């Protein structure tokens, strides 16, 4: 009997680049995450296209925004993966 070797996948962390001003962007194959500061308040969001986005979600800091965006990215991708028991 042939037994397939299992492949283990890890979710690649978001890679952040600095945009204009206090804006940070992480590109994905499906859209982009943004973290930005507006009037001393930090926000994070996700833009899939011009019709679907989740923007202006509050966060405490740049690092908090990165953590929230990474958790969102991981949650979305985990929905596509099968867990083997």
Provide the residue ranges of all domains of the chain, joining segments of one domain with +: 17-78
Range 3-10 average pLDDT: 72
16, 30, 70, 73 from 76: Cα distances, Å: 18, 11, 10, 5
Q: Tens digits of per-residue pLDDT, 15-68?
A: 999 999 999 999 999 899 999 999 999 999 999 877 777 878 999 999 999 999
Residue 43 has a pLDDT of: 97
8 A C-beta contact, residue 28 and residue 66: no
DSSP 72: H
pLDDT at 2 over 70: no
How far apart, in Å, do the first and last CA atoms of the chain sit? 20
Residue 66 has a pLDDT of: 98
Closest CA to 31 of 75, 80, 81, 73: 73
Residue 49 has a pLDDT of: 77
pTM score, two decimals? 0.82
């Amino acid at each position: 009997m042939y037994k397939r070797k299992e492949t283990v996948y890890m979710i690649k962390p978001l890679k952040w680049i600095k945009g204009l001003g206090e804006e940070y962007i992480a590109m994905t194959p499906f859209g982009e995450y943004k973290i930005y500061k507006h009037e001393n308040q930090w926000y994070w969001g996700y833009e899939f296209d011009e019709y679907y986005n989740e923007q202006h979600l509050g966060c405490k800091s740049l690092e908090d925004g990165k953590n929230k965006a990474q958790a969102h990215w991981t949650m979305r991708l985990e929905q596509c993966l099968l867990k083997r028991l």
